[in-house]
Amino acid sequence: LKGRVVENISKRCGGFLRKLSLRGCIGVGDSSLKTFAQNCRNIEHLNLNGCTKITDSTCYSLSRFCSKLKHLDLTSCVSITNSSLKGISEGCRNLEYLNLSWCDQITKDGIEALVRGCRGLKALLLRGCTQLEDEALKHIQNYCHELVSLNFQSCSRITDEGVVQICRGCHRLQALCLSGCSNLTDASLTALALNCPRLQILEAARCSHLTDAGFTLLARNCHDLEKMDLEECILITDSTLVQLSVHCPKLQALSLSHCELITDDGILHLSNSTCGHERLRVLELDNCLLITDVALEHLENCRGLERLELYDCQQVTRAGIKRMRAQLPHVKVHAYFAPVTPPTAVGGSGQRLCRCCVIL
């Protein structure tokens, strides 16, 4: 899509246009969007995801002419800086949703400027904003008490101190992504448990310091949990599954990829729980090395299961999967079985291949 097309759309639609997606329109730049902003002053929902040509100039235009804007997606607009956030905060005070993922020039100063003006934000997505530190989270906590969704994926400088601040100020939080925030410990889970009882989605992949103790407290206080991504939370054991089974009856999706201490016994508790019987749709167990066919027998109780990940579960067999699918024919099972190691060549001179190699 060329810039002139956007200009023509804006001239034809004018004040009638409320929603527009230009996702991936790499040919659209600041000049076209200035014309758009001038003509479409009633725009409420604007998606500029992947419009990599735009700069702070576009945000100035939106700030000046589009005061009714509620939803703005600037994902991967990598030229955006703190100046854009200052402009948005001054002119777009009705903003409820803002996605700044991978805008990696943003710092705590930009966040402070933003939240001072946009206090009604309900969703703020900051994936890959790698310069953000705890002080940015403190600013969010001070001004944005309506937030229900926050995403800090790969904001690796964030520590427990920042998460604790967020939890103390954002009691309505329903979805939180902390995946890749590798400094976090159980102190963050404790803060969530004590302050955010409405939590439904928690993504904590690669937070390798989190333990059963933290998830126990979380499960006992956050009974509305529906989706949890615990990939590479390598310290958790079946104890976490026991607590989730008892206290989180709404759980629909659970990732335990690379949680190598999980055993068949943990799956037994999950399968026999209310969520197992009634809600569980997705379960990811890839690289859980202690899982065997016994776990698949337990999962036959999960009548609503739709997808099961079993890559590199080396003790799971084709026969075990076949037996389970006989009981749950609708479930999609993703697994991998390495080819059998060929015998040594006669005379011992041939090279022996590992089980992961395919003979061509």
Q: For residue 64, which of 78, 84, 49, 80 has the smallest C-alpha distance?
A: 84
φ, ψ (nearest 5 deg) of residue 308: -135, 125
Q: Which two tokens stand for residue 38?
A: 């001038």
pLDDT band at 356 (very low <50, low <70, confident <90, very high): very low
The number of folded domains in the chain is: 1
* Sign, Cα dihedral of 92, 48, 136, 185: positive
* 3-state DSSP assignment of residue 191: helix
Q: Which helix (H) or strand (E) holds 189?
A: helix 186-195
Domain that holds residue 298: 237-345+352-360
Cα separation, 279 vs 317, whole angstroms? 26
Distance in angstroms (rounded) separating the CA atoms of residues 111 and 89 = 10
What is the maximal distance between C-alpha atoms in the chain?
Answer: 84
Q: Per residue in 223-280, pLDDT tens? A: 999 999 999 999 999 999 999 999 999 999 999 999 999 999 999 999 999 999 999 9
pLDDT in tens, 50-95: 999 999 999 999 999 999 999 999 999 999 999 999 999 999 999 9
Note whether residue 312 is domain-resident. yes
The residue type of 222 is C
Q: What are phi and psi of 88, to 5 degrees?
A: -60, -40
Q: What is the pLDDT of residue 349?
A: 46
Residue 357, pLDDT > 50, answer no
Q: What are the CA-CA distances from residue 358 to residues 27, 338, 339 (Å)?
A: 45, 8, 6
DSSP state of 350: S
Predicted local distance difference test score (pLDDT) of residue 344: 53
- For 70, what's the count of Cα atoms within 13 Å in the CB-facing half-sphere? 6
**Coil, strand or helix at 190:** helix
Average pLDDT over residues 342-346: 51
Q: What is the CATH number of the domain that holds 330?
A: 3.80.10.10
Residue 252 lies inside a defined structural domain of this protein: yes
The two structure tokens encoding residue 17: 């246009």
Angle at 146 between CA 143 and CA 148, to 5 degrees: 125
Residue 104 placed within a domain: no
Phi, psi at residue 262, to the nearest 5°? -75, 135
Residue 337 confidence (pLDDT): 79
> Is residue 354's pLDDT more than 60?
no
Does the residue 35 lie in any domain?
A: no
**Does some domain include residue 294?**
yes
* Residue 246 belongs to a domain: yes
Which H or E element spans position 33?
Answer: helix 30-39
Burial of 237 (0-12, 13-18, 19+ CB in 10 A): middle
- Report the alpha-carbon distance of residue 256 to residue 6 in Å, rounded: 45
- Looking at residue 340, what is its pLDDT? 55
207 located within any domain: no
